[in-house]
């Protein structure tokens, strides 16, 4: 990952994590939300707090797990951060997100959007865990990229919402769409990343073709 992209990833992730902790720790619950969402949050305080703070853990840890330098020089730290990321961030945050999806503002489309996000988040985290337990580092990294793409939905959601408000689109129409838009493009970009990073160059393809061609002895 290029340095500029990596730094941007860290800034956005830590920025949203810090914002969430500040808003939900310092302000009354639901103070920064649409009025129709406050009653739901008040009725399910445990679920929303578990989701917000566990997700903040995932956002704060996730970007650093992609640092090759951290893995090379502090492998033990990388492993412990991974346990915190999956065990607290994804597991607790995902289960809480799945629970809160049943009460999401925006009706059935929003509930399905956030519910599918929670299930995909939990599933990719589980696959990443199974891969590393099997010592399949390549598969582990691919599943972790997919998983963090879903973690990053917390960021993209907060980018789409103000953009929609600036565009004059009513919140009631925007929110159910963003329930899907916040994470599906992220997964598509992750898959595109895999294709680009594993696509052989013209030189490599030619060399591979040359090596696989039959040799004729004279």
Is 212 domain-assigned?
Answer: no
Is 172 domain-assigned?
Answer: yes
Number of structural domains in the chain: 1
Q: Which of 19, 182, 162 is nearest to 97 (CA)?
A: 182
Radius of gyration of the chain (CA): 20
- Of residues 180 and 165, more confidence is placed in 180
- The answer to whether 149 and 186 are in contact (CB under 8 A) is yes
pTM confidence score: 0.84
Q: What is the DSSP letter of 45?
A: H
Is 216 domain-assigned?
Answer: no
Is 205 domain-assigned?
Answer: no
* Per-residue pLDDT, 186: 96
Specify the DSSP element, H or E, that contains 55: helix 45-61
Is 203 domain-assigned?
Answer: no
Q: Residue 207 and residue 21: Cα distance in Å, rounded?
A: 53
Q: Residue 210 and residue 193: Cα distance in Å, rounded?
A: 27
Q: Residue 30 and residue 14: Cα distance in Å, rounded?
A: 21
Is 213 domain-assigned?
Answer: no
Q: Residue 43 and residue 23: Cα distance in Å, rounded?
A: 18
**Structural domain containing residue 155:** 3-198
- The answer to whether 118 and 181 are in contact (CB under 8 A) is no
Q: At what angle do helices 137-151 and 184-197 cross, to 10 degrees?
A: 150
Is 21 domain-assigned?
Answer: yes
- Per residue in 183-208, pLDDT (tens digit) is 999 999 999 988 876 554 444 444 44
Q: Residue 119 and residue 124: Cα distance in Å, rounded?
A: 9
Structure tokens at 156: 């993209």
Q: How far is Cα of residue 28 from the mean position of the Cα atoms in its chain?
A: 27
Which segment of 14-18, 95-99, 203-207 scores lowest on mean pLDDT?
203-207
Is 214 domain-assigned?
Answer: no
- Per residue in 116-145, pLDDT (tens digit) is 999 999 999 999 999 999 999 999 999 999
Which segment of 9-13, 22-26, 64-68, 105-109 scores lowest on mean pLDDT?
22-26
Specify the DSSP element, H or E, that contains 206: helix 202-212
b/e string for 1-31 if b means 16 or more Cβ within 10 A? eeeeeeeebbebbeebbeebbebbeeeeebe
Strands (E) located in the chain: none
Q: Residue 101 and residue 150: Cα distance in Å, rounded?
A: 15
């Amino acid at each position: 990952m290029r340095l500029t992209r990596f730094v941007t990833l860290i800034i956005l992730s830590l920025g949203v994590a810090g914002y969430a902790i500040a808003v939900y720790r310092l302000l009354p619950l639901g103070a920064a939300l649409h009025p129709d969402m406050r009653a739901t949050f008040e009725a399910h305080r445990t679920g929303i707090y578990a989701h917000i703070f566990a997700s903040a853990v995932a956002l704060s840890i996730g970007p650093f797990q992609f640092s090759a330098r951290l893995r090379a020089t502090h492998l033990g730290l990388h492993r412990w951060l991974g346990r915190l990321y999956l065990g607290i961030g994804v597991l607790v945050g995902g289960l809480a997100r799945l629970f809160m999806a049943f009460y999401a503002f925006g009706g059935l489309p929003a509930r399905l959007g956030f519910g599918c996000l929670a299930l995909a988040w939990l599933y990719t985290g589980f696959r990443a865990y199974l891969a590393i337990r099997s010592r399949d580092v390549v598969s582990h990294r691919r599943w972790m990229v997919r998983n963090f793409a879903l973690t990053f939905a917390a960021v993209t959601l907060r980018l789409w919402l103000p953009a929609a408000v600036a565009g004059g689109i009513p919140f009631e129409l925007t929110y159910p769409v963003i329930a899907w838009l916040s994470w599906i493009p992220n997964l598509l970009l992750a898959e595109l990343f895999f294709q680009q990073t594993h696509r052989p160059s013209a030189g490599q393809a030619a060399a591979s073709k040359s090596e696989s061609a039959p040799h004729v002895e004279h």
